[in-house]
Structure 1
Amino acid sequence: MQLRKTLLVGWVSVALLSGCSWFNSEEDVVTMSPLPKVENQFTPTTVWSTSVGDGIGEYYSNLRPAWQDSKVFAADRFGIVKALDADSGKEIWKIDLSEKTGILSRNKPALLSGGLTVSGSHVYVGSEKAQIFALSTEDGTVAWQTKVAGEAISRPVVSDGLVLVHTTNGMLQGLNESDGAIQWTVNLETPALTLRGESAPATAFGAAVVGGDNGRVSAVLMKEGQLIWQQRISQPSGATEIDRLNDVDTTPVIVEGVVYALGYNGNLTALDLRSGQVVWKREVGSVNDFIVDGGHIYLVDQNDRVMSMSTEGGVSLWRQSDLLHRNLTPPVLYNGYLVVGDSEGYLHWLNTDDGRFVSQQKVDSSGFLSTPVVASDKLLIQARNGKVYAFTR
């Protein structure tokens, strides 16, 4: 059985609309924080916006754009993939990866998920149908297509001649970058009850480091597909199955031989890259990817607190709690500010020194779920309805 994040969000939504609780206890009521009042110090400029299909609808999906040189690549869940001019947003090419069913029938959706990755002359995307596509960045033609071990809902990662794919049934697979042939498979194990999401690998020094649904972080030697070490950073605890969820769905971050990893209902943990031994850990949990930059860790926790911590021991530097339960996106650093989106379609800009709000703007009523993307001097974000926006500061 797999517990979908959409179900969790649905429970939160019910609580918001009706005032009821998840577990019929007044203590468990989840309430979205009201929109904080912000005196804007600046107003970001919308350079362009364009629609890419129908987006993700009400489904949980981390589909987000990718960027390389002068092109932005974006997709919708149905199977539309587009290349856009980064300066104007104009369409360069478009391909439909949905399954053809007949002249009079609507195509079957490809169920693209997890975000696009661009490397060299190809852009890669996975699907809930366990398919990985490699498309030409020039014209969108399919260079190769490979069926993997399970649903591919995290973004593919390209490194050392391999396309790394982490599937929902706990398999990490290495595919040949040139033709998609599966080179190796590592079983990272999956418990009976998990969140709907998977960690994308981080790579360094020939190793792929990835979080698992069993609360562990694993390091795999990419050349042979050999497990090097595993370390638990989240231990099941609590009275309910929800409390005992301990997935590590965030992508680890590797900086100067240290692996930073973050689990749900778990810990932010610093690990030695070579041995997997714990350097330090702090009690904070999340399902959102996080940032390590200049000795600081920026993250959104599982209650939507935005936080800054030191890489030296995980000391808390500041905490912004005015966006609780607004279903925030993972954060991004852009133009010296920390930016997050929320489920009501607002972008919030925070000062990285103290977490104060410096700007706020309503962008899209369908709301945001996926990570904003920095593309040279622009900030890109894709709304749930498939519309892609480009901003400058």
Structure 2
Amino acid sequence: MSSRACPCTPLLPALALTLVAAMGCREPATSDFRHSTDASSRAGLVALPDGVLTANEAGTVVRLERSGRVVWRVSLDREVATRPALLGDSVIAGTVGGDLVRLNLADGAVQWRLTGEPPVLTAPVADAEGKFVFLVAPDGSVRSLYTDTGKTDWERPPPGKPEPTAAPRGFPMPVLQDGLLVVALGDAGLMALATQDGAKRWQRDLRDVLGMTLWRDTLYVSTRQGHVLALRLGDGTSLWEQAPAEALSSPPSLALGTVWVGTAGEVSALVGLSPSNGKEVARITLPDPLISEVTPVREDLLLVPTSGRQGRLIALNTTTWAQAFSVRADTPLRTRPVVLGDQVIVLGLDGRVLSWRLRKTDP
């Protein structure tokens, strides 16, 4: 598909979003809004019924309406490097400086704030009832906090002695279901803990985990070494293991009945695997690596954010897996898009929140 601008539309200004379509001159998506958070960001987007919430390296937490209007901004002074945890009418955000804050979702008011905590480099997760939030520290220790006060419920020590020269690092976002908290702790492997008291339920020697996703009682895991595994959540038993590439670049995501992972190497690709047996069902070449999750839109499109300098959001036709169109953000897309009806919202590495409206398909 040619990347030329459509000849029957004027060229967009240099700072505008670029649209590359595969369907003549009728734009399949139109720019809706752009909002700069005023600093780079790797925190990702929290989807809300009426918009999104994000944060940046300057420590600013921002809530936006679907129109792009700012509902509120709160400064936490230090970088927020991970996606905040949503708790119904509030959110919990942590900083690299060791602050942990609960903010009212309506107006951003601080409900409580802890200081002097370990750096928050791994995304916190909350239980379905919003009573507890779980945090993984850079040394691999795991804590459960009461969300109403921020006080510690239980704490599990690090799985081993950290190297004295090791730089603080984040781990993949934990997954939580059926009273189990599954954490990937680097060289310590994959571990399932009881949410009630932190007791270890099972452990797998699985290193360099990129991420995890759950479907029903099955946990899907991807590793940098090119492996994708399906594990039984209850006991960690392996259901299948596949190696679709020599190296992978993304956590797994489940969409349209398929497990999707991005490959690393000379050629970037999106690979789809059957969730029942791991057999490859699709392979699509990408212009740049996928390092986050993919997102379905309706039943006919799959959105793939790419992490190259152009930051293309590619829409694949789910019937043929051919590219339907792509939009260019001119900044790497490193986190999962949010879909609200016919609206798509992404976060660029430069801290801009970008939105497009998808054209309705013809009857």
Same fold per superposition (TM over 0.5) = yes
Matching residue of 1:299? 261
Matching residue of 1:139? 107
12, 32, 36: which is aligned to 1:47? Answer: 32
Q: Structure 1 residue 309: deviation in Å?
A: 0.5
Matched, 1:177 2:147: yes
Say if 1:84 and 1:93, in contact at 8 Å, map to a contact too: yes
Matched, 1:247 2:211: no
Say if 1:378 and 1:391, in contact at 8 Å, map to a contact too: yes
Matched, 1:150 2:118: yes
Q: Structure 1 residue 358: deviation in Å?
A: 1.2
Q: Structure 1 residue 353: deviation in Å?
A: 4.2
Matched, 1:94 2:91: no
Q: Structure 1 residue 195: deviation in Å?
A: 10
Q: Structure 1 residue 172: deviation in Å?
A: 2.2
Q: Structure 1 residue 269: deviation in Å?
A: 0.7
- Matched residue SS, 1:63: coil
Q: Structure 2 CA distance, aligned partners of 1:165 and 1:313?
A: 32
Matched, 1:334 2:319: no
Q: Structure 1 CA distance, aligned partners of 2:28 and 2:256?
A: 26
Q: Structure 1 residue 273: deviation in Å?
A: 1.4
Q: Structure 1 residue 176: deviation in Å?
A: 0.9
Change (3 A) 1:173 1:260: same
Change (3 A) 1:148 1:294: farther
Say if 2:263 and 2:290, in contact at 8 Å, map to a contact too: no
Matched, 1:121 2:89: yes
Query: 1:112 corresponds to which letter in structure 2?
Result: V
- Matched residue SS, 1:249: strand
Deviations 1:163-194 (A, max 9, x none): 11222221222111111112222334587579
Query: 1:173 corresponds to which letter in structure 2?
Result: R
Matched, 1:256 2:241: no
- Matched residue SS, 1:262: strand
The equivalences for 1:250-289 within 5 A come to 250=211, 252-284=212-244, 285-289=247-251
More moved, 330-339 vs 283-292: 283-292
Q: Structure 2 CA distance, aligned partners of 1:321 and 1:195?
A: 34
Q: Structure 2 CA distance, aligned partners of 1:338 and 1:147?
A: 41
Matching residue of 1:380? 345
Matching residue of 2:134? 164
Matching residue of 1:358? 324
Matching residue of 1:6? none
**Percent of aligned pairs sharing the same letter:** 19
Taking structure 2 as the reference length, the TM-score comes to: 0.81
Q: Structure 2 CA distance, aligned partners of 1:127 and 1:308?
A: 35
Gap regions ≥5 residues in structure 2? 1-19, 359-363
Taking structure 1 as the reference length, the TM-score comes to: 0.75
Query: 1:89 corresponds to which letter in structure 2?
Result: G
Q: Structure 2 CA distance, aligned partners of 1:40 and 1:367?
A: 25
Q: Structure 2 CA distance, aligned partners of 1:301 and 1:188?
A: 30
Query: 1:73 corresponds to which letter in structure 2?
Result: L
Change (3 A) 1:273 1:382: same
Aligned CA RMSD, in angstroms, stands at: 2.5
**Alignment: residue pair count:** 325
Say if 2:43 and 2:81, in contact at 8 Å, map to a contact too: yes
Change (3 A) 1:211 1:341: same
Q: Structure 1 CA distance, aligned partners of 2:250 and 2:332?
A: 16
Gap regions ≥5 residues in structure 1? 1-36, 57-61, 99-109, 234-245
Change (3 A) 1:140 1:195: closer
Deviations 1:260-302 (A, max 9, x none): 1112215211111111111111124535232224531112133
Deviations 1:221-268 (A, max 9, x none): 1011111101123xxxxxxxxxxxx42131x22222111111221521
- Matched residue SS, 1:214: helix
Change (3 A) 1:170 1:353: farther
- Matched residue SS, 1:297: strand
Q: Structure 2 CA distance, aligned partners of 1:171 and 1:148?
A: 15
Q: Structure 1 residue 307: deviation in Å?
A: 0.9
Q: Structure 2 CA distance, aligned partners of 1:296 and 1:122?
A: 32
Say if 2:40 and 2:56, in contact at 8 Å, map to a contact too: yes
Matched, 1:63 2:63: no
Say if 1:76 and 1:112, in contact at 8 Å, map to a contact too: yes
